[in-house]
Structure 1
Amino acid sequence: MNELDRAAELLRGADALLVCAGAGMGVDSGLPDFRGPEGFWRAYPPYRALGLRFEELADPVHFADDPELAWGFYGHRLDLYRSTVPHDGFGVLLAWARRWPARVFTSNVDGQFHRAGFAADVVAECHGSIHHLQCLDNCGQPVWPADGVSARVDPVTMRAAAPLPSCPACGGLARPNILMFGDLSWDPARTQAQLDSHTRWLRSLRAEGRRLTVVEIGAGTAVPTVRRQAELASASSGALVRINLHEPEVRHGRGAEIAARAAEALRALDERLH
């Protein structure tokens, strides 16, 4: 039995489905792959000239020290994600979610699962969402949607021009409600509510004795949050389908390892299920 057949068998035996998605999920939609400095600089050449890596730009300190630099980076990404059409692999997952009770756990901040048609109450975004904002000064304003908010970004310098997004309560600077590197000021309220709902769902499945199959897609080991969630959720059943072009190995020796990109693998699995 090859890995695709094994994965299809695990799906057929499922009572419920958990999709765990990392950055590799968005590559087939045309979103950039930030694997290492070279991958990031191919997507954003101006930052190569400045010698700035993704980890250095995704630092909340810039919103206080150089807000034009910070909003240049995040404003460009906000526009990019708004204009990106989810690839057909999202449609496969959405169809599966109509067949099985399903949830999504993702580190992606791009909102692609919502854009593809997944209901907000079945998606847990563990690193937050670029489509929501928070007050930089923590004035007490709850996290709010970024609908209608944008930043004008110079494509050469990648710096944003005034006026920058602001807090509707105090008028101070706004920032994306994203967990950045070394982020001590992130407002976790929205994400924590999602995670609490996610945990209750998993507990209910265990209490009812329902078999959960986990489909992990494009989740790397550099920031292993999604892989750990997938491994923990599938620990009792071993029903883990890992789709990863570069790192498909399943350490516990069970499950299915599919070394392919997201859309290709999901289409092939869907064909086998039908």
Structure 2
Amino acid sequence: MAADPLTAALTRAAGWLAAADGLLINAGAGMGIDSGLPDFRGPGGFWGVYPALGRARIAFEEIANPAAFARDPQLAWGFYGHRLALYRTTEPHAGFALLREIAAQLPQGAFVFTSNVDGQFQKAGYPAERICEIHGSIHHLQCSRPCSERIWSAAGFAPEVDHAACRLRNEAPHCPQCGALARPNILMFNDWHWLEQRSAAQQQALADWLGQVRRPVVIEIGAGSRIPSVRRFSEQYGQRLIRINPLESDSPPGSIALPLGGLAGIRRLAAAYSALA
């Protein structure tokens, strides 16, 4: 009896991994759902997490915007402060470790390319020098002006947020050089002041790694088409692309589509790979 299409796809994907010398892990927002992180896709989903913004009819694109910090810093930092605290306390799901275990068996290991700003890969034990955060990181700050190119850690800032109002209760962080309001070092909507040096250095490290890998396999998890940065990168570098996505698994010819959630897809793939050993 012939295997069902999903089993056949997993077997083919496992064969790719067995022949690979490096693993490129490309992660979108769907990677964090199984860790309990919210999905902001669509105004209804976003306002469900932030009802105060829903009552005020403030869309994600409006609050994730430098203009929000100029207009109402306590509201903007209420939103980002809540996210910062959430990401600090969230434990990465088991799929992060499973991918690390696969990568540990490959000569060139793994490199992460992600649009997520949550720092979950670092928390899951991936080395910082093997992570490229193309939209920046909420765990780093910059001046909102900005007065210089300085980027610094947000570790010293402990946000206290009124969740019902989505407003910061305590004092917002400020630039240590000029005293202006600080903001996350994240690429926002309509953002002309994002300091990209940290991300640019990560992209160069990724380019250097790609130059050393001869048989890469790309595993893409939870990357949507609404902001297609990760999907485009996967298709650019993924001669062997495994796309894990429960809603948007459509993939280029020759690639492998796994219409599963992030953790479920990683578990099935890891099991198929282990079965080859």
* TM band (smaller chain): over 0.9
Larger deviation, residues 168-177 vs 210-219: 168-177
The TM-score with structure 2 as length reference comes to 0.93
Match of 2:153 in 1: 145
* CA distance in 2: counterparts of 1:65 and 1:125, whole angstroms: 27
Match of 2:223 in 1: 219
Query: In the TM superposition, what is the alpha-carbon distance from 1:150 to its structure 2 partner?
Result: 2.3
Q: Which residue of 36, 39, 43 corresponds with 2:45?
A: 39
Match of 1:75 in 2: 81
Match of 1:269 in 2: 269
* CA distance in 2: counterparts of 1:216 and 1:109, whole angstroms: 16
Match of 2:142 in 1: 134
* CA distance in 2: counterparts of 1:20 and 1:172, whole angstroms: 35
Match of 1:248 in 2: 249
- Contact between 1:151 and 1:165, CA under 8 Å: does it hold in 2? no
* CA distance in 1: counterparts of 2:37 and 2:170, whole angstroms: 27
* CA distance in 2: counterparts of 1:255 and 1:40, whole angstroms: 32
- Equivalent residues in 2 for 1:25-64, closer than 5 Å: 25-64=31-70
Query: In the TM superposition, what is the alpha-carbon distance from 1:20 to its structure 2 partner?
Result: 0.3
Structure 2 regions of 5+ residues with no counterpart?
Answer: none
Secondary structure in structure 1 of the residue aligned to 2:211: helix
Secondary structure in structure 2 of the residue aligned to 1:164: coil
- Contact between 2:225 and 2:231, CA under 8 Å: does it hold in 1? yes
Match of 2:240 in 1: 239
Secondary structure in structure 2 of the residue aligned to 1:150: coil
- 1:177 maps to 2:188: no
Residue identity opposite 1:272 in structure 2: A
Residue identity opposite 1:45 in structure 2: P
* CA distance in 1: counterparts of 2:127 and 2:215, whole angstroms: 22
- Contact between 2:68 and 2:76, CA under 8 Å: does it hold in 1? yes
Query: In the TM superposition, what is the alpha-carbon distance from 1:170 to its structure 2 partner?
Result: 2.1
**Could you say what the CA RMSD is over the residues aligned between the two structures, in angstroms?**
1.2
Larger deviation, residues 240-249 vs 135-144: 135-144
- Equivalent residues in 2 for 1:16-27, closer than 5 Å: 16-27=22-33
User: How many residue pairs end up in the alignment?
Assistant: 266
Larger deviation, residues 137-146 vs 263-272: 137-146
Secondary structure in structure 1 of the residue aligned to 2:192: coil
Secondary structure in structure 1 of the residue aligned to 2:12: helix
* CA distance in 1: counterparts of 2:144 and 2:68, whole angstroms: 11
**Any idea what the Cα deviations from partners look like across 1:136-195, whole Å, max 9, x if unmatched?**
122225100111212221111101134111112222211000000110000001110001
The TM-score with structure 1 as length reference comes to 0.94
- Contact between 1:63 and 1:70, CA under 8 Å: does it hold in 2? yes
Match of 1:124 in 2: 132
Residue identity opposite 2:33 in structure 1: V
- 1:10 maps to 2:16: yes
- Contact between 1:7 and 1:255, CA under 8 Å: does it hold in 2? no
- Contact between 2:23 and 2:218, CA under 8 Å: does it hold in 1? yes
Residue identity opposite 1:118 in structure 2: Y
Residue identity opposite 2:219 in structure 1: V
Residue identity opposite 2:175 in structure 1: C
* CA distance in 2: counterparts of 1:169 and 1:95, whole angstroms: 43
- Contact between 2:24 and 2:113, CA under 8 Å: does it hold in 1? yes
- Equivalent residues in 2 for 1:186-201, closer than 5 Å: 186-201=194-209
- Contact between 1:141 and 1:169, CA under 8 Å: does it hold in 2? no
Residue identity opposite 2:270 in structure 1: D
Query: In the TM superposition, what is the alpha-carbon distance from 1:203 to its structure 2 partner?
Result: 2.4
Query: In the TM superposition, what is the alpha-carbon distance from 1:64 to its structure 2 partner?
Result: 1.3
Secondary structure in structure 2 of the residue aligned to 1:204: coil
Residue identity opposite 1:151 in structure 2: P
Q: Percent identity?
A: 49
